[in-house]
Structure 1
Amino acid sequence: MTYLFAQPYDISANGFCFEDFESYQKQAAKAANSYGQPVEEFEIQFIDCELAKAYGINQANLKSYFSAVDELEEDEKKTVILAVGECGYDIERVLSHIGAVDLDIYYVSSMRELAEQFVEEGLFGEIPERLQYYLYYDAIARDLSADYIETVITGETLIYRCA
């Protein structure tokens, strides 16, 4: 799926991501600048370029890149972007063994949410539910940030760890 970004020409307004014309129309109709006035003009930006950047796109691998774009699922694209662009893996190795990449990706919106998920999954051992209300999740989240990194790819917040 291709994501696009509508960047307002009005510098006091925020842009938005969209993936089809209907979502563009809905969000554009609601877009307003910091003074409450409607935004009238947008520059449309192609932001699936994160994959192109990680791929190291050039004339020599252009055909291979477009094949990858067509064949990879959205989660696999995110794995390639993070493994190659952030963790230093070789693109050919990742594409040939995408399931074997040693990369942990969590689809959560914050480190605190990751901390809550880890406690819920029992990563810190068996904690009775009545005691979970007394845990300081912000401190756990701060500790997790030593090993995990928060990023945004195509408008979605992810937390990952290169192993």
Structure 2
Amino acid sequence: MKQLHAQPYDLSATGFYFETAEEYAEKANTLRNDYGAPVEEFEIQFIDGEHIDCELAQAIGLNQANLAQFLTAVDEWEEWEKQIVIIAVGECGYTFEKDVIPTQFDVEIHDVSTMRELAEQFVDEGLYGEVPEAFQHYIDYDAIARDLAMDFSVIEIAGERYVYACR
């Protein structure tokens, strides 16, 4: 469940809570200020819902123009798709445009919480070639992690840490 609030910029009008695009449109179209004039501009506020959805709203700069698309994303996207968009738009400089598809962004996400863990993962996966067992104890993972930090960053999304790169 999600709950949002439409706060009018018109100080003589009272905002309203809503959960769907249809409910927003119905309430926004009928709202009048204290003088009987229609209210047209609102600040959209994320009030309650999943932590990742709150972070998605913040990353895309939730507003009237992208509200319907945001609500569709919240209902239809998988968590990993939301993570991609949060990183792409919030950190990498991509824009949240109409009909955005999360896989269109060139973002690499690793389910590790530190650069050192990423270094260890890359060595284990053979990214640096095969390392004989006798030499594995001599690998300087911290040095590899410092090098990886030139291309990768760490982010926390919904209480979980990830290492990512924007391409």
TM-score range, shorter chain: 0.5 to 0.7
Alignment-derived partner of residue 152 in structure 1: 156
Alignment-derived partner of residue 77 in structure 2: 72
Instruction: Indicate yes or no: 2:63 matched with 1:58.
Output: yes
Alignment-derived partner of residue 91 in structure 1: 96
Q: Of 133, 136, 147, which residue of structure 1 is paired with 2:137?
A: 133
Q: Which amino acid letter does the alignment assign opposite residue 100 of structure 2?
A: L
| Runs of 4+ residues deviating >4 angstroms | none
Q: Which amino acid letter does the alignment assign opposite residue 136 of structure 1?
A: D
Q: Distance in 1 between matches of 2:128 and 2:112?
A: 18
Q: CA deviation at 1:139?
A: 1.1
Q: Which runs of 5+ in 2 are unaligned?
A: 3-46
Q: Which amino acid letter does the alignment assign opposite residue 66 of structure 1?
A: L
Q: Give aligned-pair identity as a percent.
A: 56
Q: Distance in 2 between matches of 1:82 and 1:69?
A: 16
Please provide the CA RMSD for this pair: 2.2
Q: CA deviation at 1:140?
A: 0.9
Q: Distance in 2 between matches of 1:150 and 1:162?
A: 12
- C-alpha change, 1:136 and 1:92, in structure 2 (3 Å) is same
TM-score, normalised via structure 1 length: 0.67
Residues 116, 141 of structure 2: 8 Å contact kept = yes
Q: Which runs of 5+ in 1 are unaligned?
A: 3-43
Q: Distance in 2 between matches of 1:63 and 1:80?
A: 16
Q: Which amino acid letter does the alignment assign opposite residue 76 of structure 1?
A: E
Residues 80, 95 of structure 1: 8 Å contact kept = no
Q: Distance in 1 between matches of 2:136 and 2:70?
A: 47
Count of residues paired in the alignment: 121
- C-alpha change, 1:112 and 1:56, in structure 2 (3 Å) is same
Instruction: Indicate yes or no: 2:126 matched with 1:122.
Output: yes
TM-score, normalised via structure 2 length: 0.66
Q: CA deviation at 1:143?
A: 1.3
- C-alpha change, 1:58 and 1:116, in structure 2 (3 Å) is same
Q: Which structure has the greater CA radius of gyration?
A: 2
Query: Secondary structure, in 3 states, of the residue corresponding to 1:84?
Result: helix
Q: Distance in 2 between matches of 1:94 and 1:126?
A: 43
